[in-house]
DNA sequence: CCGGATCCCAACAGATACTG
DNA sequence: CAGTATCTGTTGGGATCCGG
């Protein structure tokens, strides 16, 4: 039952395409990764994801919240407090993202070398 | 030896940041995923990564080639033949990407439900 | 013909300033 | 503190053109 593998990110019309962009997008991936260690407030998240603007962070978090990967918890105290955390699905995706990021960072030395070689060969 | 964990994607100035964007970017991720099954020519790749424009595919592939994750092999026959394939590092990253994509697609039913619930609650 | 660079326009990202 | 509004610069994409 319910064994429909109808979702294919390689198809441009598949609903999974925009979700993949939310998850692997420029800021979405880093936001998910940052939340893997535990809940964070908006500005904590902003400090952790170095370089992100308020607008893009808010936008990325809204997208992830809509996809059911992140939960936004508002404490209506003063000062206002808003905590973001991962849902179970979000946590799994964040883990896979961190796995990828970890491999990428350990590969950086060889990647840097490749870039230098490439750039030297393309000094047109 | 050489156990410098100096690379951190969460820092905006780290050289790993642009590489992460090449790998997880909109078209880079799909290109890497498509190449995981074996080498492909430019237009085969273009057909596989449904919806990508020529320009963006060429651009994404150049970035991945510069990072040493993809190899561009030119056969100067007629008609011209250009094959793209993964390097060992690229293959590992592609595998992790496909793992993430696989989990995401199997999670799609619950994600769709979440989106509908969210959209209903936000009918301002 | 195939691979890809260019041009031009539309959409999106970012800095700043302002509101609940 | 946690965002929205606005205004502007950068980036993405389709049509078109060029080299092998």
pLDDT tens digit at each of 124 positions of chain A: 555 568 999 998 899 999 999 999 999 999 999 999 999 999 999 999 999 999 999 999 999 999 999 999 999 888 899 999 999 999 999 999 999 999 999 999 999 999 999 988 877 6
Question: What is residue B17's predicted lDDT score, i.e. its pLDDT?
Answer: 94
Question: How close does chain B come to A14, measured CA to CA in Å?
Answer: 10
Lookup result for tokens 């011209």: B80
A105/B9 CB distance under 8 A: yes
- pTM of the entire predicted model: 0.92
The residue of A6, A52, A65, A67 whose CB has the most chain B CBs within 10 angstroms, and thus the best one to mutate to test that interface, is A67
Lookup result for tokens 């320009």: B55
Kindly list the distances between the CA atom of residue B111 and the CA atoms of A21, A36, A91, B93, B115, in Å, as whole numbers in the listed order.
14, 19, 14, 25, 6
Question: What stretches in chain B show pLDDT beneath 70?
Answer: 1-5
Residues whose CB is less than 8 angstroms from the CB of residue B82 and which lie 6 or more positions away in sequence, other chains included: B41, B42, B72, B73, B74, B75
Strand C footprint nucleotides (protein C-beta < 7 Å): 1-7, 13-17, 20
Distance of C1' in C4 from CA in A114, Å:
23
Question: How close does chain B come to A81, measured CA to CA in Å?
Answer: 21
Residues whose CB is less than 8 angstroms from the CB of residue B66 and which lie 6 or more positions away in sequence, other chains included: A114, A115, A118, A119
Kindly list the distances between the CA atom of residue B90 and the CA atoms of A73, B35, B37, B57, B65, in Å, as whole numbers in the listed order.
38, 9, 12, 17, 10
Cα separation of B59 and B63, whole Å? 6
Question: How close does chain A come to B88, measured CA to CA in Å?
Answer: 11
Question: What is residue A4's predicted lDDT score, i.e. its pLDDT?
Answer: 58
Cα separation of A36 and A96, whole Å? 10
Contact predicate B71/B88, CB 8 Å: no
Cα separation of A99 and A93, whole Å? 10
Residue B91 structure tokens: 């293959």
Give me the residues paired with residue A41 across strands. A83
Question: What is residue A114's predicted lDDT score, i.e. its pLDDT?
Answer: 94
What's B73's DSSP letter?
Answer: E
Among the partner-chain residues A23, A25, A111, the one whose CB lies closest to the CB of B19 is A111
* Strand order through the sheet with B70-75: B40-41, B81-86, B70-75
Question: What is residue B115's predicted lDDT score, i.e. its pLDDT?
Answer: 95
Cα separation of B101 and A20, whole Å? 7
Asked if B16 CB < 7 A from strand C, the reply is no
Distance of C1' in C15 from CA in A53, Å:
9
Number of Cβ atoms within 10 Å of the Cβ of A57: 20
Number of Cβ atoms within 10 Å of the Cβ of B91: 15
Among the partner-chain residues A67, A68, A108, the one whose CB lies closest to the CB of B16 is A108
A68/B115 CB distance under 8 A: yes
Residue whose C-alpha is closest to residue A45's, from A85, A91, A79, A78: A85
Question: What is residue A20's predicted lDDT score, i.e. its pLDDT?
Answer: 95
Query: Across chain B, which distance is largest between two alpha carbons, in Å?
Result: 60
């Amino acid at each position: 039952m319910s064994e429909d593998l109808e979702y294919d990110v390689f198809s441009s019309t598949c609903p999974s395409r925009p979700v993949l962009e939310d998850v692997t997008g420029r800021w979405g991936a880093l936001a998910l990764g940052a939340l893997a260690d535990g809940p964070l407030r908006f500005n904590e998240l902003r400090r952790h994801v170095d370089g992100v603007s308020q607008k893009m962070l808010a936008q990325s978090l809204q997208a992830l919240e809509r996809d059911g990967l992140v939960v936004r918890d508002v404490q209506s105290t003063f000062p206002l407090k808003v905590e973001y955390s991962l849902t179970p699905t979000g946590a799994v995706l964040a883990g896979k993202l961190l796995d990828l990021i970890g491999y990428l960072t350990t590969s950086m030395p060889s990647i840097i070398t490749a870039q230098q070689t490439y750039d030297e060969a393309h000094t047109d």
